Structure 1
Amino acid sequence: MYQKIKPAIILLAIACAVVSCTSSKKVVYFQDSQDFETIVTENRFEPKFKVDDVISIYVATLNPEASAPFNLTIGVAANGQSESLDYIVDKNGDIEFPVIGKVNVLGLSPEELKIDLKERLSSYLKDPIINVRLRNFTVTVLGEVRSPGTYPIIGEQVTILEALGLAGDLTIKGRRENVMVIRDFDGVKVYNRLDLTSKNVMNSPAYYLTQNDVVYVEPNKSAAVSSSLDNRTTIALSILSLIVTTTLFLTRN
């Protein structure tokens, strides 16, 4: 009996071995990093304002009455505080700022806009404190992730790894070596592809995401089950299991 079922068992073992060998190569991140290796990267990322961005700007001084004309409000809320209005960047990259008029913000970072406004307001206010925030920083993650969707970002920066973390990470079916980031620059779509299996992904211009970026994770070709086990392999294993079961049944009779 053992001699009759031995070939089937061997084939089953080979199939399992192939699956276990290939799966880790397709799902492990940063495969080219070495043990105890230290990677030092200088973070120079700053978000830049684009057309249709929503910006919150608040100007404060020691004299609230002096700075009041430079803050857009829509009246007084129930708590007695004034509700501020946000600025929307128009198609020319401008915002309409109280008193001083149009200010072009296209391509500026929040810090650069602070400096620009402080210089413009220096003839009106003494030592103004200016707070600038990007209000519409969201990223959309689609494809082979556990929770696709659009996610608001708190703060001024987010990496692609953090965005994927918000979406629950890639499923086993996601292509880790070919993740696409779709970015809009002044109406022009820019496509970047990142290889998450390499540590060099951290040097990519798309490693830090910008507002309204879309991250798309393509499905792999093998529609994996457990670790890149495709449907044909599943069928093959089922057939082998049936052969073993049938062989055992026949040999007992």
Structure 2
Amino acid sequence: MHFRHILIILISSILFCACTTQKDLAYFENINDSQSGTIQTADYQIKIMPQDELMIVVSSEVPSASAQFNTIMATPVTGKDFTDITSTSIGNTQTTSSATPKYLTYTVSKKGDIDFPVLGKIHVEGMTIEELKNYLKSQIEKTVKNPQVFVSLVNFKVKVIGEVKEPQTVNVTTEKFSIIDALSACGDLTEYGKRDNVIIMREQPDGTMGYMRLNLHDTSLFSSPYYYLQQNDIVYVEPNSIKQDNSKYNQNNSFKLSTISTIVSAASVIASLVIALTVK
């Protein structure tokens, strides 16, 4: 039975390598043989949600006029999250301090608000980054000439686990980040990953966890509402049957080897005691 199990595993592995290279490992199989065409895609923009962390920096031709709209800490404080924004990255912002200015971030409350300097409480939940930027600019330009507003989501992270070459938490630096981007950042799927059953898990507004299964063989995934990922999404690539069978076999084999090793060790101890008693 032991030999038969090994033989089945070997045959299955050979068949897997021979038969799945073109079919199971391929992406977008339903693209026809034409040289060009179009594929419908999802129209999606990241929406700001509670617990998001926003970097907001305001600059203008007169730094002293826009300074009141920034929360700056020149000296880093332990335990605080902030990001360096230099004058070249935000326009004409200048500082009279020799230290690089540190711009503190704004955490969106559970009610979807941020407390912004001068303007006070602003409800930002459901806004896109561009919408918030435009809103702030419209309010600030009432007192500041030609203000420039920089808005960035700094805690956009996606977890990728399962059968990928480098499972990891991906720090996203762009507003549009797709399932393809996430898998590419992790070195693509392994040969044991199910390409027709990639699961995206996403927290819902009511606190529950929703999920969607995506088929990488089918171009319809481009129009899925889960094609573009959101903050804190989890991407899980399920192992195929070959990987699962190999895993079960290895676990059983390890258990057997451990049991045999224990028995051999116990027998050795008993034999040593018998010899010692016999000598006496």
TM tier, shorter chain? Answer: 0.7 to 0.9
Contact residue 48 and residue 107 of structure 1 kept, 8 A: yes
Q: Which moved more, 1:169-178 or 1:40-49?
A: 40-49
- Separation in 1 of the partners of 2:74 and 2:17? 65
1:52 matched residue in structure 2? 51
Distance 1:18 1:163, change over 3 A: closer
1:5 matched residue in structure 2? none
TM-score by length of 2: 0.70
Q: Which moved more, 1:70-79 or 1:45-54?
A: 70-79
1:176 matched residue in structure 2? 195
- Separation in 2 of the partners of 1:220 and 1:16? 15
Contact residue 142 and residue 148 of structure 1 kept, 8 A: yes
Contact residue 73 and residue 83 of structure 1 kept, 8 A: yes
CA shift for structure 1 position 119: 2.1
CA shift for structure 1 position 140: 0.6
Q: Does 1:205 align with 2:225?
A: yes
Contact residue 156 and residue 231 of structure 2 kept, 8 A: yes
User: Residue 188 of structure 2 aligns to which amino acid in structure 1?
Assistant: D
Contact residue 58 and residue 69 of structure 2 kept, 8 A: yes
- For the residue of structure 1 that corresponds to 2:241, the secondary structure is coil
1:127 matched residue in structure 2? 146
User: Residue 32 of structure 1 aligns to which amino acid in structure 2?
Assistant: N
- Separation in 1 of the partners of 2:14 and 2:235? 33
2:83 matched residue in structure 1? none
Unaligned runs of 5+ in 2: 1-9, 77-96, 250-280
Contact residue 159 and residue 209 of structure 1 kept, 8 A: yes
Alignment of 1:14-93 (within 5 A): 20-35=18-33, 36-41=35-40, 44-75=43-74, 79-93=98-112
RMSD: 2.7
Q: Does 1:155 align with 2:174?
A: yes
Contact residue 50 and residue 185 of structure 1 kept, 8 A: no
Distance 1:183 1:16, change over 3 A: closer
TM-score by length of 1: 0.77
- Separation in 2 of the partners of 1:146 and 1:18? 19
CA shift for structure 1 position 34: 1.2
Q: String of CA shifts for 1:55-104, please: whole Å, max 9, x gaps.
A: 00011111110100100111357843321111000110100000111011
User: Structure 1 vs Structure 2: percent identity of aligned residues?
Assistant: 39
Report the count of equivalent residues: 217
User: Residue 102 of structure 1 aligns to which amino acid in structure 2?
Assistant: K
User: Residue 221 of structure 1 aligns to which amino acid in structure 2?
Assistant: S
- Separation in 2 of the partners of 1:129 and 1:150? 32
Q: Does 1:111 align with 2:110?
A: no
Contact residue 47 and residue 109 of structure 1 kept, 8 A: yes
Q: String of CA shifts for 1:159-179, please: whole Å, max 9, x gaps.
A: 111100111111111111110
Higher relative contact order (CA closer than 8 Å, sequence separation 6+): 1
- Separation in 2 of the partners of 1:49 and 1:134? 8
User: Residue 223 of structure 1 aligns to which amino acid in structure 2?
Assistant: K
CA shift for structure 1 position 222: 2.4
- Separation in 1 of the partners of 2:109 and 2:152? 17
